[in-house]
Structure 1
Amino acid sequence: MGNVLRQWACAGLVAVALAHPAAGRTIKVSTWNLDWLTARAAGDPTLPPDVHPRADADLRRLAVYAARLDADIVGFQEVDSPALAARLFPPGRYRIVMTADPVVQRTGLAVATSLTIERHPDLAALDVYPPTAPHPLRSGLDVTIGDGTANLRVLVVHLKAGCRDAAPSDRRAACLTLARQMAVLDDWVAQRQDEGVPFLVMGDFNRNLTPGDPFFHLLDQDGPLTLATAGRASPCWGGTYFIDHLLLGNQARGWLRPDSLRVLTYDEQDPARAPALSDHCPVSVRLEMP
């Protein structure tokens, strides 16, 4: 892994080769986990003891990176409210859509105002915990985005942590939970495959998905999927394997622009700065919508 990480661990926008050429209007789509972005005070019972709200200077710095990212669609995770999201993705440029979850770590979308949004019910079935569980899991945000000519069904997810590379047969609680969430996600993907609509699933999978991962095979059993991060390592904070992914299905696989995978890294090199920014970097691709 060391050689791979050294190959990609450089600052700024890092290009990664992809395939499937297409032609048409280009949109940039990105996924970004913003790492407990909340305005709740330290010590709030809904927060872990080591989580602290960002200072205004940190929010301004994140907004600079969001402007540098300059994506048309950003699927984000771990954001507490639309108001906080709007600090990074201003109303003049974006509209904010978020799940209705009663949790701090909500998923959402920032969508360019030039695009249309059709909201579908949240994929609440991803919360596979019983109603009595003290901390519910996160729903998926399900929308259709349009540019006036073509539509793209988009699902933003944030799956259970703790089973990053273990076999699906692992009996640890986190792996059992992730397996149940993957089954729910597989149902959603199968429905889109049956409908024949172009679709994108993106977010924090908390999993080193690869084309050989049994969890990935579960998802593409009803039709081929393109895993944009396949075969690559991320340069984020010095280098790691991807757990933030973008999966394309149906016609959207052919919309993927070659060589468009990017990771926007932070100018700060010290990992100790991660809590002020995020322990994840934005990951993006470009799509050519017909």
Structure 2
Amino acid sequence: MLLVTMPPNVCLAGPIKIATWNLDWLTSDPEGQKSIPPDVYRRQPADFARLSAYAQKLDADVIGFQEVDQPRTAAMVFPLSRYAIVMSDDRIEQRVGIAVKRMLHVTRNRDLTALNVYPPTAPHALRSGLDVTIADGSSTLRVLVVHLKTGCWDNPWNERGHSCPTLENQFEILNDWILERTDEGQPFAIIGDFNRRLAPHDPFYMALTHDAPLTLTTSGRASPCWGGEYFIDHLLLGGGAEHWMAPGSLRVATFKNTDIPPDHLSDHCPVSIKLSPP
């Protein structure tokens, strides 16, 4: 485990704001990287400045992010003067990570590499989950940041196409992780891009709640991001943390510069909630 050292015995004066944000192929590497599709738009300095301004306005204490290539790139959005950045060890361009305000303690746990359910012979790997423990001096929260297999957004549970069985396998891995946290009595959150329009009666979500109570914070809501869509970015709470959410605190930070193409910012908007630990 890696401990990111913060000031000791710090307690927050109010709720903790936690968010998830897919940053859509965010890279600071020069063009020509073979691992990045040639049609991916490379953000310019003005684009990074806009993203950083939105992050500052979001002002979340914890942001789980997806599709970022390296910590140096993440720091261009979440400045190191305010945030500690931890990212998965995957050797891919679309990594997951987390930015945590420096008033909090962050302990890194082993990456959930089991989410890469592909065999070693597969042409590319799936993304690991980033597993950290966050503490404010009085309470702790285990946070798993994920970016799951795309292509099974609202398809039937029993569809045998390539995406749905893969996503089902990943949900089985998530269920195992949830059961471990439940057995340990550890409050937790799973946040990120699930690439699934989860709902209380969705079989994928119901598989997670069979043995452990969860709160799907986006339940019954639609996102206003880029004109309106159903949520695929979610924040799930369990292990006791399902009782921590401040009522009515779900927010989607939409982009105001509607004349700027989504690939200059992101095709996903930040989704956040507020937690009030005991």
The answer to whether the Cα contact below 8 Å between 2:41 and 2:264 also exists between their aligned partners in 1 is no
Counterpart among 144, 160, 175 of residue 155 in structure 1: 144
Counterpart among 258, 262, 265 of residue 274 in structure 1: 262
Counterpart among 96, 102, 107 of residue 91 in structure 2: 102
Q: Which amino acid aligns with 2:100?
A: V
The answer to whether the Cα contact below 8 Å between 1:42 and 1:52 also exists between their aligned partners in 2 is no
Number of the residue aligned with 2:5 = none
Distance of 1:277 and 1:227 partners within structure 2: 27
Counterpart among 242, 246, 266 of residue 253 in structure 1: 242
The answer to whether the Cα contact below 8 Å between 2:14 and 2:276 also exists between their aligned partners in 1 is yes
Number of the residue aligned with 1:284 = 272
**Cα distance, 1:48 vs. partner?**
1.6
**Cα distance, 1:70 vs. partner?**
0.1
**Cα distance, 1:44 vs. partner?**
2.1
Matched, 1:130 2:119: yes
Unaligned runs of 5+ in 1: 1-23
Structure 1 residue runs of 4 or more that deviate by more than 3 Å after TM superposition: none
Counterpart among 207, 212, 230 of residue 219 in structure 2: 230
Number of the residue aligned with 1:6 = none
- Which stretch shifts more, 147-156 or 32-41? 32-41
Distance of 1:91 and 1:49 partners within structure 2: 30
Task: Give RMSD over aligned pairs.
Answer: 1.1
Distance of 2:124 and 2:17 partners within structure 1: 34
**Cα distance, 1:43 vs. partner?**
3.8
Counterpart among 113, 120, 128 of residue 109 in structure 2: 120
Matches within 5 A, 1:71-110: 71-110=60-99
Number of the residue aligned with 1:17 = none
**Cα distance, 1:196 vs. partner?**
1.3
**Cα distance, 1:63 vs. partner?**
0.3
The answer to whether the Cα contact below 8 Å between 2:20 and 2:191 also exists between their aligned partners in 1 is yes
Counterpart among 120, 135, 139 of residue 128 in structure 2: 139
What is the TM-score of this pair, normalised by structure 2? Answer: 0.94
**Cα distance, 1:47 vs. partner?**
1.1
Counterpart among 170, 180, 185 of residue 181 in structure 1: 170
Give the paired residue count: 266
Counterpart among 202, 219, 244 of residue 213 in structure 1: 202
Counterpart among 224, 236, 240 of residue 229 in structure 2: 240
Distance of 1:180 and 1:43 partners within structure 2: 34
Number of the residue aligned with 1:3 = none
Q: Secondary structure at the match of 1:25?
A: coil
Q: Percent identity?
A: 58
Q: Secondary structure at the match of 1:215?
A: helix
Distance of 1:43 and 1:262 partners within structure 2: 37
**Cα distance, 1:41 vs. partner?**
3.2
Unaligned runs of 5+ in 2: 1-12
Number of the residue aligned with 2:161 = 172
